């Protein structure tokens, strides 16, 4: 079960990184649900999610392995 959570977390982390890069090129690709789309919002939304996921994954790998 731990491995499944870690694999899912890494998949979500890499998805956020790909979305972050795609959003820096064209923000409308990842922020289609907002009324205003700019690169700063892409950095705020997907950057914060990526950092939180990375911290969670590093902590879980450190404590569970």
Please give the full DSSP string across 9-42, using - where no structure is assigned.
HHHHHHHHHHHHHHHHH-GGGT-TTSSS--HHHH
More confident site: 20 or 35: 20
- pLDDT exceeds 90 at position 56: yes
- pLDDT exceeds 90 at position 29: no
Q: Please choose, from the candidates 55, 50, 57, the residue with its C-alpha nearest in 3D space to the C-alpha of residue 2.
A: 57
Q: What is the value of pTM for the model shown?
A: 0.82
Per-domain boundaries in the chain:
2-64
């Amino acid at each position: 079960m731990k491995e499944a959570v870690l694999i899912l977390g890494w998949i979500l982390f890499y998805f956020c990184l790909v979305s972050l890069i795609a959003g820096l090129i064209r923000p409308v690709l990842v922020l289609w649900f907002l009324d205003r789309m700019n690169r700063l919002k892409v950095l705020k939304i997907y950057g914060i999610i990526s950092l939180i996921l990375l911290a969670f994954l590093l902590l879980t790998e450190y404590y569970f392995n």
